[in-house]
């Protein structure tokens, strides 16, 4: 038998959240204070760092367009303005780490006897107040959406969008119902655009966007990736 000490499950989960920077400032300080004297906890951090890093090995290397840096610097400087209708003026960069943690936590819930997704997207707002997990089963064009965290703002609705690879404009996938889980069939032409695409969620008036494009704040985006 191994003499290695057993790591409490709570500590293992905390180490994972620390690596993904999901702890708040106070929790992070307390965790780092423990790291100073707890070698087993440091081992957990190193283990999760290696595990999460390996998940990115299968992702293809891409070179972002120069405009991404311009938009990022504008945002940091507080000078970014959303004007015009071009999709790239409101599309936010997705976070691989958030997609990974979303998939690990909720990906299994997307599966069911009649639903086996081939693609998955995870959307989480910056403050963590809203999380949406979505999957597509291309065999029958079924699209499943889970909303484990968060609701629409009072008097508003959440609308989900598909931005196909190379597209100039988003296409609505519909307004989310109040149910935490929904399953519906999408048009085969839309289903064919999921691979390599991006999903977004926006804050809209009742009934959804009246223009066919997001009119409210784009709350989160996430890339679809192979399950």
Q: What is the CATH number of the domain that holds 188?
A: 2.60.40
> 175-204 pLDDT, tens per residue?
998 888 888 888 899 888 988 888 999 999
Asked if residue 74 belongs to a domain, the reply is no
- Alpha carbon distance 201, 169 (integer Å): 14
Is residue 109 located within the same domain as residue 199?
yes
Q: Count of domains in the chain?
A: 2
> Residue 158's pLDDT band (boundaries 50, 70, 90)?
very high
Q: Using alpha carbons, select from 97, 110, 50 the residue that is nearest to residue 222.
A: 97
What is the per-residue pLDDT for 171?
Answer: 92
Flag whether pLDDT at 78 surpasses 60. Answer: no
| pLDDT, position 159 | 95
- Is the pTM higher than 0.85? The answer reads no
Output the pLDDT for position 75.
47
Q: Residue 67: pLDDT above 60?
A: no
pLDDT, mean of residues 6-17: 72
| E strands present in the chain | 119-124, 131-137, 142-149, 157-163, 171-175, 181-185, 198-204, 218-223, 225-226
Question: What is the chain's mean pLDDT, rounded?
Answer: 75
Do residue 34 and residue 94 come from a single domain?
Answer: no
What's the CA gap between 149 and 128, in Å, rounded? 8
Is 2 a domain residue? no
């Amino acid at each position: 038998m191994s003499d290695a000490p057993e790591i409490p499950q709570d500590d293992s989960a905390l180490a994972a959240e620390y690596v993904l920077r999901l702890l708040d400032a106070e929790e992070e300080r307390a965790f780092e204070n423990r790291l100073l004297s707890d070698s087993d906890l440091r081992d957990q951090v190193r283990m999760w760092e290696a595990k999460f890093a390996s998940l990115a090995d299968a992702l293809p290397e891409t070179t972002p367009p120069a405009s991404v840096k311009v938009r990022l610097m504008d945002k940091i400087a507080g000078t970014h303005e959303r004007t015009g209708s071009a999709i790239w003026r409101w599309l936010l960069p997705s976070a691989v780490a958030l997609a990974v943690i979303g998939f690990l936590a909720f990906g299994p819930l997307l599966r069911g006897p009649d639903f086996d997704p081939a693609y998955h997207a995870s959307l989480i707002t910056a403050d963590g107040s809203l999380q949406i997990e979505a999957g597509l089963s291309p065999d029958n064009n079924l699209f499943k959406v889970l909303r484990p965290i968060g609701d629409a703002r009072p008097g508003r609705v959440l609308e989900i969008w598909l931005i196909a690879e190379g597209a100039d404009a988003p296409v609505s996938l519909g307004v989310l119902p109040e149910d935490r889980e929904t399953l519906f069939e999408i048009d085969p032409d839309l289903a064919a655009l999921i691979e390599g695409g991006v999903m977004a969620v926006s804050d809209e008036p009742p009934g959804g966007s009246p223009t066919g494009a997001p009119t409210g704040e784009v709350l989160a985006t996430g890339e679809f990736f192979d399950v």
